[in-house]
Amino acid sequence: MSGTFVGMPAFPEAAHEAVGNRTLRANLRHATHTIRAKREKAVAEVSDWAELREAGKQIKDHTLRHLDRYLVQLEESVVAAGGTVHWAADADEANEIVTKLVKMTGESEVVKVKSMATQEIGLNEALEAEGIRAYETDLAELIVQLGKDRPSHILVPAIHRNRGEIRDIFAREMSEWGRPAPEGLTDTPAELAEAARLHLREKFLRAKVGISGANFMVADTGTLVVVESEGNGRMCLTLPETLISVVGIEKIVPTWQDLEVFLQTLPRSSTAERMNPYTSMWTGTRDGRAGEGDGPQNFHLVLLDNGRSDTLADEVGRQALRCIRCSACLNVCPVYERAGGHAYGSVYPGPIGAILSPQLRGTASEIDASLPYASSLCGACYEVCPVAIDIPEVLVHLRERIVEGGPVVREGNKVVLKPAKGHAAERAAMRAARWAFSHPGALRTGQRLASRTRRLHPRSLPGPGKAWSGTRDLPAVPAEPFRDWWQRTNGGKEGGK
Amino acid sequence: MRVALFLTCVNDTLYPDTGRAVVKLLTRLGVDVDFPMSQTCCGQAHYNTGYRHEAEPLARHFSDVFRDYEAIVTPSGSCGAMVRELYPRMGERARAEGRGESLATTLAPVVPKTYELTEFLVDVMGVTDVGAYYPHTVTYHPTCHGLRGLGLGDRPRRLLQAVKGLELKELPGADECCGFGGTFALKNADVSAAMGADKVRNAESTGAEVLCAADNSCLMHIGGTMSRLESGMRPVHIAEILASTEEEPAV
Ligand code: SF4
């Protein structure tokens, strides 16, 4: 499958395939249940988890409320430390900026540490079009890149692949991208890891340009933070002469002290670890900070909007910008577990993807209009979210936007959306039901009619109801609705049964 | 105590036995139960599908019907959560949109008085042993809105454990959604059916005869799946178990 998400079918269609794929479902079930149980343990160890969660929510909300101020402060801090700040309104602008920066170095290769923002904007493809090759260095990202695949999980992008598949991908593709896989490579984890290490080491030592994302940006010092497990990020961040970081504008925290909260909640929520194996921080350039001899010679920070300001304008939906991308919500989601990450048509799958993508991209496309319905509203995602994003609330809010329309901000302008097409029958049914429910007499007539004709009712339905009754039997309609019984027996006092 | 039974439109139309069981149970416990005939629907299906503006008049109607009672009892975790969790939110949103104070103030009085059945029994009446008799093996499925929306906790299980003759079996993956989710079952039928089938498989693995829950909507979905899979198990609403006695046992 190609790297593009454009033209994705709507969620139910995309999910249909995954639901029928037994191996995929077994892989996903195993992986999500394992990490789910581990997370629960890691969280239970912390006595003040509820307070940490509330603190994380408050810090993020405060920052979002004053985002303009903190962004300016961040820019000043980065510049003071010798870096350069670029502002990108959308994907095209960001890609253009990065491509130009890479070209200025005269290089035609870059190493990348896993960054969702660059995937969101399709940076690798944009660089490729200009003759620049981007090497992913995160193990799972490498697997996805070599396999010409798409990520299907925030934290474990290759969650849908098993060891055998990974071996085949390495053996087949590595030589095309650099150092080939060793002869006779087997599918043991140690051998696979070693093959990746050798392949990547070569790239790290040669690379003059690194591209990264960031988990956090500290406004008062201009420091960027990446947390990771493999150490590849640290290599990307320290070895190249030029470092370009592409980061969404919502990733700011005001001060170093605020990191204290997230460096506890993020690892426990994502990998179920007490702390991240590698926490790398970088501030400006080596010359920008007098007396310190390390860091890149050139540092560029590309601040990416790409729909974030529009999302911020929505009072209910903006809470999605609190997300720290821990992926806990994916791992507990019963829908993600069965539909798989690809069905969400975005680098952000699962519950967070279902509320983030339709806000960042708008609800015009078929896939984006179907995402708010990709949930049974069971609430498991909200329960685990370390920054308390009420995902079900936002889902319902977005459904409302789709079926009823209403004011939204797109590209900075207020527009009023019309109700989406394709919901006319549903809208009519909802109106009719509301009318009947506002007239108890009409409801009663309907109930009686249903009771009287009950022998004629099929256990499965034609038309749109088929989806339900294709796999489930409908209940039989009773001979008498409750309210008739109540009246006939005077609340059960006369004539009993 | 004079309480109003809010039966919900689904129970009224499709599951009158549950309503009769609630009346029988509460009457046995000395509660004076009334069923206001003008009640209809809380508006949950409208609200959750995105038709908030269709749900608002239903919420107003609910408040008109029930506001004068001491307590409102409903045998449905999800409709209970609709009133307690989402009515205040509807009020806030209406206020934020500058549509005056009226919706919020209209809904406010009914919100704290609305109880899901097991909550009412344990918290308001202070009973866990309701004198029931039910000689069957039962496994309990805590429905999502009851579990996470209302925070019912172990109340239903405590009530079941006190039932004479009942053997309670632990349900593996109990807190996982059964896949109903109102219109979700229609809009994402494949995923919903897969979730339902997993729930039934887990329930079957307990060897229980009955799967019990405090919500007939979820039971309709689980029961429909059981019937289609020709499972030997039966779905039963908790009210029917708690209403069952040695003199008048439920089947
Ligand atoms: S929404 Fe919450 S749980 Fe999901 S990835 Fe973001 S922070 Fe984690």
B41-82 per-position pLDDT tens digit: 999 999 999 999 999 999 999 999 999 999 999 999 999 999
- For residue B148, the CA-to-ligand 1 centroid distance in Å is 18
* Interstrand relation of A223-228 and A278-283 (parallel, antiparallel or unpaired): antiparallel
A27: pLDDT confidence band, cut at 50, 70 and 90?
confident
Q: Is the pLDDT of residue A4 over 50?
A: no
Chain-chain contact of A472 with B196 (C-beta, under 8 angstroms): yes
- For residue A319, the CA-to-ligand 1 centroid distance in Å is 11
Chain-chain contact of B96 with A315 (C-beta, under 8 angstroms): yes
Q: Whose CA is nearest to atom 2 of ligand 1?
A: A385
- For residue A272, the CA-to-ligand 1 centroid distance in Å is 14
Q: Is the pLDDT of residue A21 over 80?
A: yes
Give chain B's mean pLDDT.
95
Q: Is the pLDDT of residue A494 over 70?
A: yes
Cross-strand partners of A408:
A415
Report residues whose beta carbon is within 6 angstroms of any ligand 1 atom: A 269, 323-329, 352, 384-387, 389
Taking contacts as CB-CB distances below 8 angstroms, the residues of chain A near B183 are 373, 426
pLDDT digits (tens, 9 = 90+) for A134-148: 999 999 999 999 999
Q: Is the pLDDT of residue A10 over 50?
A: yes
The partner residue sitting opposite A482, judged by closest CB among B12, B46, B47, is B12
Chain-chain contact of A478 with B16 (C-beta, under 8 angstroms): yes
The partner residue sitting opposite A480, judged by closest CB among B16, B23, B33, is B16
Q: Are B42 and A433 in contact (CB under 8 A)?
A: no
CA B22, CA B5: separation in Å to the nearest integer?
8
Read off the tokens for B196.
Answer: 């339902």
A320 vs chain B: nearest CA distance in angstroms? 18
Q: Are B17 and A478 in contact (CB under 8 A)?
A: yes
Q: What is the reported pLDDT for A36?
A: 95
Residue A495 vs residue B103, higher pLDDT: B103
Q: Among all chains, which residue has been given the structure tokens 């109990």?
A: B174
CA A27, CA A332: separation in Å to the nearest integer?
15
Q: What is the reported pLDDT for B23?
A: 97
Question: Per-residue DSSP letters for A76-127?
Answer: HHHHHTT-EEEEESSHHHHHHHHHHHHHHHT-SEEEE---HHHHHTTHHHHH
A3: pLDDT confidence band, cut at 50, 70 and 90?
very low
B144 vs chain A: nearest CA distance in angstroms? 5
3-state secondary structure chain B: CEEEECCCHHHHHHCHHHHHHHHHHHHHCCCEEECCCCCCCCCHHHHHHCCHHHHHHHHHHHHHHHCCCCEEEECCHHHHHHHHHHHHHHHHHHHHCCCCCHHHHHHCCCCCCEEEHHHHHHHHCCCCCCCCECCCEEEECCCHHHHHHCCCCCHHHHHHHCCECCEEECCCCCCCCCCCCCCHHHHCHHHHHHHHHHHHHHHHHCCCCEEEECCHHHHHHHHHHHHHCCCCCEEEEHHHHHHCCCCCCCC
A454: pLDDT confidence band, cut at 50, 70 and 90?
confident
The partner residue sitting opposite B50, judged by closest CB among A339, A396, A481, is A396
Q: Whose CA is nearest to atom 8 of ligand 1?
A: A326
Q: Which residue of A has its CA nearest to B47?
A: A396
Chain-chain contact of A437 with B61 (C-beta, under 8 angstroms): yes
Q: Which residue of A has its CA nearest to B78?
A: A378
Q: Whose CA is nearest to atom 6 of ligand 1?
A: A323
Chain-chain contact of B185 with A481 (C-beta, under 8 angstroms): no
Exposed/middle/buried for A229, CB within 10 Å: 0-12, 13-18, 19+? Answer: middle
Q: Residue B161: CB partners within 8 Å, gap ≥ 6?
A: B128, B168
Q: What is the reported pLDDT for B83?
A: 97
Atom of ligand 1 nearest to the CA of A328: 3
Q: Are A207 and A110 in contact (CB under 8 A)?
A: yes
Rounded to the nearest 10 degrees, the angle between the axes of helix A391-404 and helix A350-360 is 40
CA B108, CA B110: separation in Å to the nearest integer?
6
Q: Is the pLDDT of residue A462 over 70?
A: no
Q: What is the reported pLDDT for A327?
A: 96
Tell me how many residue pairs between chain A and chain B have CB atoms under 8 A apart: 202
Give chain A's mean pLDDT.
91
pLDDT digits (tens, 9 = 90+) for B84-140: 999 999 999 998 888 877 899 999 999 999 999 999 999 999 999 999 999 999 999
Instruction: List Cβ<8 Å contacts ≥24 apart for A451-456.
Output: A451/A477, A451/A478, A451/A479, A451/A480, A451/A481, A451/A484, A454/A478, A454/A479
Q: Is the pLDDT of residue A9 over 50?
A: yes
Atom of ligand 1 nearest to the CA of A350: 4
Read off the tokens for A355.
Answer: 């509320």
Q: What is the reported pLDDT for A2?
A: 34
Chain-chain contact of B194 with A19 (C-beta, under 8 angstroms): yes
Q: Among all chains, which residue has been given the structure tokens 């994402």?
A: B188
CA B12, CA B26: separation in Å to the nearest integer?
17
Q: Is the pLDDT of residue A289 over 90?
A: no
Residue type, B202: N
- For residue B48, the CA-to-ligand 1 centroid distance in Å is 22
Residue type, B131: G
A461: pLDDT confidence band, cut at 50, 70 and 90?
low
Q: Is the pLDDT of residue A418 over 90?
A: no
Residue type, A435: W
Q: Whose CA is nearest to atom 3 of ligand 1?
A: A385
Percent of chain A at pLDDT exceeding 70 = 96
Read off the tokens for A212.
Answer: 């990264």
Q: What is the reported pLDDT for A135?
A: 95
CA A236, CA A220: separation in Å to the nearest integer?
24
| Residue A409 dihedral angles phi and psi, to the nearest 5° | -110, 125
CA A341, CA B86: separation in Å to the nearest integer?
30
Q: What is the reported pLDDT for B168?
A: 98
